[in-house]
Amino acid sequence: MSFFDRFRGRRASRSAQVAKERLKLLLVADRSSLSPEKLRAMQEEILQVIRRYIPSAELDVQVSIEQRERKHYLVANIPLEQGSVAPEYLDVTQPHHSSPSDIPPAEDEE
Amino acid sequence: MGARVITITSGKGGVGKTTSTANLAVALAQLGKRVVCVDADIGLRNLDVVMGLENRIVYDLVDVVEGRCGLRQALVRDKRVPQLYLLPASQTHDKTAVSPQDMVTLTNQLRADYDVVLIDSPAGIEWGFRNALAPADEVIVVTNPEIPAVRDADRIIGVIEAEERSIAVSVVINRAKPDMIRRGEMMSVADVLEVLAVTLLGIVPEDRRVTTASNNGAPLTLADRHAPVSRAFVEIARRLLGEEIPIRDPAGEGVWLRMARRLGLGR
Ligand SMILES: Nc1ncnc2c1ncn2[C@@H]1O[C@H](COP(=O)(O)OP(=O)(O)OP(=O)(O)O)[C@@H](O)[C@H]1O
Ligand SMILES: [Mg+2]
């Protein structure tokens, strides 16, 4: 489960849990010198860009912060599937891709 | 083989650096090591009082650095434990009376004759901390399971890791309250380790007798070696000497946290 999801998802019933989540957010900010507010703004902007290219990403995309050892990473998981890319961004210069409606089947299905 | 120089620091004030230094010093000396504690909190000396040696001080660290006495003359011997000495801080001088280089020179003089030099660092990341860090081979960061203490511990660990030379860092979690942790009212050891992601050296429970022992001028490890706090410090001392002793979660979940060093936890 990602860091932001955890932060949003869990109920604040136990103060230890609240403390831990607040601390995590605080340390991301301290270590990166980006305020929690800026981090969220950046996350939201990245999401907007992804949605522009991949409309179906609305539901599946996750931009989250993960900690490995003592470092934090901004991590995006973006599903790239058939038909997920917005028509205006399809690469029309390649053979067989002459129009958005003429997309060949994926290779492993041939 | 020269002594190991171990600095005890925290970032935030009042989390238990001086208490840890005094108790660890007693534990290490009782295990047969030749130990010197250096109070690097110049201007705000405390270690002498916690150890109960304040009435026997003649010279201090600044006297040594400024050449008013020899290093040996300034060492106060603790008569209750064999081979335990204190180099007191000065109460009157400013902390800038001593430089990081002075601390390196001074501890190098001690290395030949002792097994462990423990340096009690002042809080913060300023001059006094720099003095305490300069000669350190290893650093123990003391923290409490509370947001401000862990945040400052993280800051200090970042500063230490940014040093050019590599310095081993481990953390001691002090004043853990098992009943509060069990009720979810205090962050658990696993929580703290997950965010700090450093090696855990030990967990010391909260105990009012730490204060009463300090009132009486005898660290609890000396006054009652069976107290849970004392046991915790003896185990920490033995781990420092290389023994593999599992760390038990004080909240009684039976988790052996030592195995889970370096962020293996909670993921
Ligand atoms: N495990 C403990 N249980 C109960 N009280 C404790 C414990 N550890 C420390 N204390 C108390 O907390 C207070 C602060 O401890 P101590 O002086 O060791 O902290 P410090 O980090 O050296 O502070 P400073 O930053 O001012 O140098 C003291 O009154 C001490 O008795
Ligand atoms: Mg102190």
Taking CB atoms and an 8 Å cutoff, what residues of chain A touch B197? 67, 69-70
Q: How high is the mean pLDDT of chain B?
A: 92
In tens, the pLDDT along B230-243 reads: 999 999 999 999 99
Count of structural domains within chain B: 1
Question: Among A11, A14, A20, which would you mutate to test the B interface (most chain B Cβ atoms within 10 Å of its Cβ)?
Answer: A20
**Stretch among A78-87, B85-94, B95-104, B252-261 having the lowest mean pLDDT:** B252-261
Residue B71 has pLDDT above 80, yes or no: yes
B124 compared with A89, residue with greater pLDDT: B124
- Cβ of A30 within 8 Å of Cβ of B155? The answer is yes
**pLDDT tier, A2 (very low <50, low <70, confident <90, very high otherwise):** very low
**Stretch among B15-24, B64-73, B90-99, B146-155 having the lowest mean pLDDT:** B90-99
Pair of tokens at residue A83: 């038909």
Nearest ligand to the C-alpha atom of residue B216: 1
Q: What is the pLDDT of residue A10?
A: 44
Query: Where are the alpha helices (H) located in B114-183, listed in sequence order?
Result: 127-133, 147-161, 178-182
**pLDDT tier, A79 (very low <50, low <70, confident <90, very high otherwise):** confident
Q: What residue numbers bound the domain in which B238 lies?
A: 4-263
CATH number at residue B13: 3.40.50.300
**pLDDT tier, B255 (very low <50, low <70, confident <90, very high otherwise):** low
Pair of tokens at residue A98: 């002459």
In this structure, what DSSP letter does residue B54 have?
G
- Cβ of A27 within 8 Å of Cβ of B195? The answer is yes
Q: Predicted ipTM?
A: 0.82
Question: Among B166, B189, B195, which would you mutate to test the A interface (most chain A Cβ atoms within 10 Å of its Cβ)?
Answer: B195
> Could you tell me if A69 lies within 8 Å of chain B, comparing CB atoms?
yes
Q: What is the pLDDT of residue B249?
A: 80
Give the pairing type, strands B4-9 and B116-120: parallel
Residues with CB under 5 A from ligand 2 (ion): B 17-18, 46
3-state secondary structure of B179: helix
> Could you tell me if B156 lies within 8 Å of chain A, comparing CB atoms?
no
Tell me how far apart the alpha carbons of residues A93 and B136 are, in angstroms, rounded to a whole number: 62
Which of B10, B12, B18, B230 to mutate for ligand 1's pocket (most ligand atoms within 8 Å of CB)? B18
pTM for the full predicted model: 0.85
Q: Under the phi-then-psi rule, with left for phi > 0, alpha for psi from -120 to 50, and beta for the rest, what region is B150?
A: alpha
**Residue B92 main-chain phi, psi, to 5 deg:** -100, -25
Average pLDDT over residues A70-82: 83
Query: Where are the alpha helices (H) located in A1-110, listed in sequence order?
Result: 3-9, 15-32, 36-53, 57-60
Q: What is the pLDDT of residue A92?
A: 62
Percent of the residues in chain B that have a pLDDT greater than 70, as a whole number: 94
| Single-letter amino acid code for the residue at B73 | Q
Answer for the pair B132, B12: CB distance below 8 angstroms, yes or no.
Answer: no
Query: Measured between CB atoms, which of B158, B186, B197 is closest to A69?
Result: B197
Distance, CA A32 to ligand 1 centroid (Å)?
Answer: 31
Distance, CA A58 to ligand 2 centroid (Å)?
Answer: 53
Percent of the residues in chain B that have a pLDDT greater than 90, as a whole number: 88
Tell me how far apart the alpha carbons of residues B60 and B54 are, in angstroms, rounded to a whole number: 11
Query: Measured between CB atoms, which of A16, A27, A30 is closest to B188?
Result: A16
